[in-house]
Amino acid sequence: MLKDFKAFLLRGNVVAMAVGIVVGAAFGALVNALITDLIMPIIAAIIGKPDFSKLHFIIHNSVFMYGSFINAAIIFFAVVTAVFFFVVQPVNKLMARYSTEPAPDPSIKKCQECLSDIPAEARKCAFCASPQV
């Protein structure tokens, strides 16, 4: 049983997931610092308030704290933007650079009916005789 547990822990996907979680937590702290120390002061310089959490309105003695939602929305969009530009874009460029798939041939297209490869200028499929648009 201990041997099986060791094999499970040392499997590649478990270790990769653990590394991903640690890196994700560190990245979250970095983005949080970016928002708190750089983005919110810029917003404060433009709008005049760095913290919207105190904004509210009252209807029939019910307090609606819409400022907290604004703070959360700013943080969400900042995190999504940071992840897109600092993680997704670089990974996509690396994957494209090291891709082993050949580029698609523009002179060949798929038949709409049988999905066979046919010349791009063909008006009729040679395999199923269906007309091509």
pLDDT in tens, 39-94: 878 877 887 776 778 888 999 999 898 888 888 888 888 878 878 888 889 988 98
The reply to whether CATH 1.10.1200.120 applies to domain 12-101 is yes
pTM score, whole prediction: 0.51
Are 111 and 130 spatial neighbours (Cβ–Cβ below 8 Å)? yes
The ranges of the chain annotated as CATH 1.10.1200.120 are 12-101
pLDDT in tens, 97-123: 887 777 778 888 989 889 899 998 888
Amino acid, res. 33: A
Cβ atoms of 75 and 67 within 8 Å: the answer is no
Q: How far apart (Å, rounded) are the C-alpha atoms in residues 128 and 110?
A: 12
Q: Is the distance from CB of 65 to CB of 56 less than 8 angstroms?
A: yes
Within 10 angstroms of residue 17's Cβ, the number of other Cβ atoms is: 11
